């Protein structure tokens, strides 16, 4: 099943020179979460990566590991990008998606060495910093409490039994991916780090260590808000990404 989900009408545009933004969602998330970005990125193609087990891929089993999830994404992206002329490509990942995007970028740089690629990681510590938790093995109540702690706006969803039954197994699998992830040494060429100033998931003493996972000078930008500082209706982040595409920052 195709993992790449077009988020805007530019997917059907005849202009093949438009830059491409590829979005890697957070744990439990799907590309639909980022649909409000389209209005702020009118001159780019937006592709969202749909992970196994959700949306149109609901019948598929979850990925065994973040590395294998990234490899599957890289395989599909390499085919799609090879069909385009050389254009700027940005891989953006938030929270769990940050590690998936970083792993995917490493593979794409090997497969498409001429590709103009930049990786933007959001709301996540460097790859060598494991969460240290085991919530994927915990009772439902503990798992839901942690989800609500990070994203209080989702609290009402988890109070509905039918939705808990539908979505909680998927989120549990994503927690497993995060909590069992062990990165191998490596780097990507161009790396930017963004995060919410009040994000309790970020270790402020270690966030600068992302510089060791990129080959060029790593850039950092903090935005107002917590872990989900980028949720609708806020569009501060896509405006910043647009500036990156145009080389203004």
Residues annotated as catalytic are 95
127 beta partners: none
Q: State the CB neighbour count (10 A cutoff) for residue 37.
A: 25
Distances (CA, A) of 192 to 91, 123, 247: 10, 12, 13
DSSP 3-state assignment of 143?
helix
Contacts of 65 (CB under 8 A, 6+ apart): 177, 180, 181
Supply 113's token pair.
């060495």
For 140: left if phi > 0, alpha if psi spans -120 to 50, otherwise beta; the answer is alpha
Contacts of 158 (CB under 8 A, 6+ apart): 144, 147, 148, 164, 168
Rounded to whole angstroms, the Cα distance separating 86 from 201 reads 36
Contact by Cβ (8 Å): 88, 116: yes
Rounded to whole angstroms, the Cα distance separating 137 from 162 reads 21
b/e burial code for range 133-143 (CB count within 10 A of at least 16 → b): eebbeeeeeeb
Supply 10's token pair.
């530019």
């Amino acid at each position: 099943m195709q993992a790449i989900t077009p988020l805007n009408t530019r997917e059907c545009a005849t202009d093949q020179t438009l830059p491409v933004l590829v979005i890697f969602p957070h744990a439990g998330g799907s590309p639909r979460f980022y649909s409000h970005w389209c209005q702020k990125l009118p001159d780019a193609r937006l592709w969202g990566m749909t992970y196994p087990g959700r949306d149109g891929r609901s019948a598929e089993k979850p990925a065994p590991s973040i590395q294998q999830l990234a490899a599957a994404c890289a395989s599909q992206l390499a085919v799609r990008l090879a069909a385009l002329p050389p254009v700027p490509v940005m891989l953006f990942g938030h929270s769990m998606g940050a590690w998936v995007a970083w792993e995917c970028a490493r593979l794409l740089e090997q497969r498409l060495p001429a590709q103009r690629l930049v990786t933007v990681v959001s709301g996540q510590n460097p790859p060598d910093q494991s969460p240290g938790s085991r919530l994927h093995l915990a009772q439902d109540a503990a798992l839901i409490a942690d989800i609500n702690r990070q994203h209080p706006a989702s609290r009402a969803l988890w109070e509905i039994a039918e939705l808990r039954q539908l979505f909680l197994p998927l989120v549990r699998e994503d927690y497993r991916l995060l909590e069992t992830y062990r990165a191998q040494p490596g780097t990507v060429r161009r790396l930017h780090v963004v995060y919410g100033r009040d994000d309790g998931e970020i270790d402020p003493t270690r966030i600068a260590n992302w510089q060791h996972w990129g080959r060029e000078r790593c850039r950092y930008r903090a935005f107002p808000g917590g872990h989900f500082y980028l949720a609708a209706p806020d569009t501060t982040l896509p405006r910043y990404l647009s500036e990156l595409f145009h080389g203004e920052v």
